[in-house]
Structure 1
Amino acid sequence: MLKYLLLSLIAFSGFACSKVIHEERSLYRNIIVEETSDLRCLKFNTKSSQTSQSCMYKNNPDKLVFNYTKLTFASLLVADNPKNVLIIGLGGGTLSNVIHELYPTAKIHNVEIDPAVTKVARDYFNFIENDLVTSSVQDGRIFIKRAAIKKQKYDWIILDAFNGDYIPEHLLTKEFFEEVQSVLAEGGVIAANTFSSSKLYEHESATYHAVFGDFINVSRENRSNRIILAGLKSMPSEAQINTRVNALAPKLVKYGIDIKAISQFMQFTKNDQDWPADTKVLTDQYSPANLLNF
């Protein structure tokens, strides 16, 4: 009884410290903006879970909160100085803001399916928009299909769409990755935010490999997130990565990114393929994400 009482008190205490400053039902989900002390978070409340999509420190908005966001910048160790960036899935606009600060002359386009999320990013998370940083309300796959028709190319494509439960099924298939590949510029990189703990791990890995060949996994030990870096023609040498680490480290420290440590979490699948060779590839006809991801 004492154990349950203590758990109840802890839960109540945590609840009392949190304050909902915005809540709405969008076309796709319940959206909540919640503050706990110095931390402000965007949350999606779905039937099965409530998950934080983006957070920022109010007194230090430059400093990144989430591990996966920091890991995404491993991209700069394999494809330096991006000129044209595409981000699928906006959240609070954190990635876009940091990339804009780092590369103020780069063009950045954000694609978000939910107009309510875009508005919340503007109103509560300091999402920057200007002539070079733009956004559109559209399904990410439709945007990429149209970009391919227009022969548009991006040298850094970040796949960060999340519906509150998992990555949307139609953004996990071989056909979709082939569409993404068609808009990747020569020498560019795709950075996909996904999970190490999902039952889809092997299927996702096999699907990326089927389209892009060998890729890089970036993840910390015993953490649920991983970043997949795909579309690379070859793995940079250790000397090249060290040179980039030394150049980037002082620029990234203000964001709480330890790029030297992150460089140690990169594993090239050519030497470390961790899924069975006969793993089934996800396709538009075979994409049982809702059955496999938990």
Structure 2
Amino acid sequence: MLKYVLLALSVFSGAALANVIHEERSLYRNIIVDETRDLRCLKFNTKSSQTSQSCMYKNDPDKLVFNYTKLTFASLLVTENPKNVLIIGLGGGTLSNVIHELYPAAKIHNVEIDPAVLSVARDYFSFIENDKVTSSVQDGRIFIKRAAIKKKKYDWIILDAFNGDYIPEHLLTKEFFEEVKGVLADGGVVAANTFSSSKLYEHESATYHSVFGDFINVSRANRSNRIILAGFKAMPTKAQLNERVKALGPKLKKYDVDINAISNYMQYTKDEQDWPKNTKILTDQYSPANLLNF
């Protein structure tokens, strides 16, 4: 019992120390930026929860805070030297900033539906924009539809949209994933930030599999996040993985990304399919929002 009391006191103490430095009501949600000692966080405050979308250490902004952000870099073990990167869902712009540092010649385009989030990323999280790093205020699905019409292709597509409760329903369906596949370059990869603890886990897995075939789950034991890597041509051989880990290790160290450890969290669904074969696929007509309360 004592440890739970201490934990509660610790959480309460941390909350009490948080200093709100920005707060606004956007078109979509309440947005809060607060600071607790060295940690600055962007939070979405919805009716059901308050969730941290992006955090940075003010005194060490290169160091990544969130586990899922670090896991996203498993993408670089299945695709090399991305030249055109598309990120759906901006947050504080952390992923974009790191990718730009790693690949300064790459073109990176960020798509964010909420203009207030883009402003906060610029004002409070040192979001980098230049001739290589650009952004659009638009719904991610609409952007991808228009990109397909323009025949655009991306070799690293990161799906990281979150509305404060879960991934928006229209960005979780078979039809949407088919649209994403249509703008994925040959040899590219889709990296999706989702959850291993969700009641939609099996439905999401079945839906990704129906469009992309076998994919890779990247997740740590007893953690709620998982990264899905899909759309790549083939699972790298052990020798290829070792070679890429060796090359990436020094580059990612400054961001506190242990790519060697992350490589061990990768599970290929061809070897281990963990959802029933008759699992219903999510579609534009079937997307059960009631399951989002997980």
Please tell me the TM-score bracket, short chain as reference. over 0.9
In 1, the alpha carbon distance for the partners of 2:25 and 2:251 equals 39
Structure 1 length-normalised TM = 0.97
Give the aligned residue type for 1:114: D
In 1, the alpha carbon distance for the partners of 2:157 and 2:4 equals 47
Q: Aligned ranges for residues 27-38 of structure 1 at < 5 Å?
A: 27-38=27-38
Give the aligned residue type for 1:72: T
In 2, the alpha carbon distance for the partners of 1:239 and 1:8 equals 47
- Aligned-partner SS, 1:255: coil
Q: 1:292 to 1:118 in 2, by over 3 A?
A: closer
Q: 1:9 to 1:210 in 2, by over 3 A?
A: closer
Q: Which residue of 1 aligns with 2:43?
A: 43
Q: Which residue of 2 aligns with 1:254?
A: 254
Give the aligned residue type for 2:119: K
Q: Which residue of 2 aligns with 1:154?
A: 154
Q: Which runs of 5+ in 1 are unaligned?
A: none
Q: Which residue of 1 aligns with 2:242?
A: 242
Per-residue Cα deviation, 1:166-199 (whole angstroms, up to 9, x for no partner) = 0000000000000000000000000000000000
Q: Which residue of 2 aligns with 1:63?
A: 63
Q: Which runs of 5+ in 2 are unaligned?
A: none
In 1, the alpha carbon distance for the partners of 2:180 and 2:86 equals 10
- Aligned-partner SS, 2:43: strand
Q: 1:261 to 1:173 in 2, by over 3 A?
A: same
Q: Which residue of 2 aligns with 1:105?
A: 105
- Aligned-partner SS, 2:62: coil
Q: 1:61 to 1:290 in 2, by over 3 A?
A: farther
Identity between Structure 1 and Structure 2 (%) = 85
Q: Which residue of 1 aligns with 2:265?
A: 265
Aligned residues of 1:85 and 1:156 also touching (Cα < 8 A): yes
Q: 1:293 to 1:234 in 2, by over 3 A?
A: farther
Aligned residues of 1:20 and 1:33 also touching (Cα < 8 A): yes
Q: Which residue of 2 aligns with 1:216?
A: 216
Pairwise CA distance, 1:13: 2.4
- Aligned-partner SS, 1:187: strand
Q: Which residue of 2 aligns with 1:190?
A: 190
Q: Aligned ranges for residues 64-143 of structure 1 at < 5 Å?
A: 64-143=64-143
In 2, the alpha carbon distance for the partners of 1:142 and 1:22 equals 30
In 2, the alpha carbon distance for the partners of 1:3 and 1:268 equals 38
Give the aligned residue type for 1:164: G
Per-residue Cα deviation, 1:218-267 (whole angstroms, up to 9, x for no partner) = 00011000000000121010100100000000000000000000000000
Aligned residues of 1:200 and 1:293 also touching (Cα < 8 A): no
Q: 1:4 to 1:199 in 2, by over 3 A?
A: closer
Aligned residues of 2:57 and 2:65 also touching (Cα < 8 A): yes
Give the aligned residue type for 2:70: K
Give the aligned residue type for 1:190: V
In 2, the alpha carbon distance for the partners of 1:6 and 1:244 equals 43
Pairwise CA distance, 1:71: 0.1
Structure 2 length-normalised TM = 0.97
Pairwise CA distance, 1:61: 0.1
Q: Which residue of 1 aligns with 2:24?
A: 24
Q: How many residues align?
A: 293
Q: Aligned ranges for residues 219-234 of structure 1 at < 5 Å?
A: 219-234=219-234
Give the aligned residue type for 2:284: D
Give the aligned residue type for 1:123: D
- Aligned-partner SS, 2:13: helix
Root mean square deviation, CA, Å: 1.5
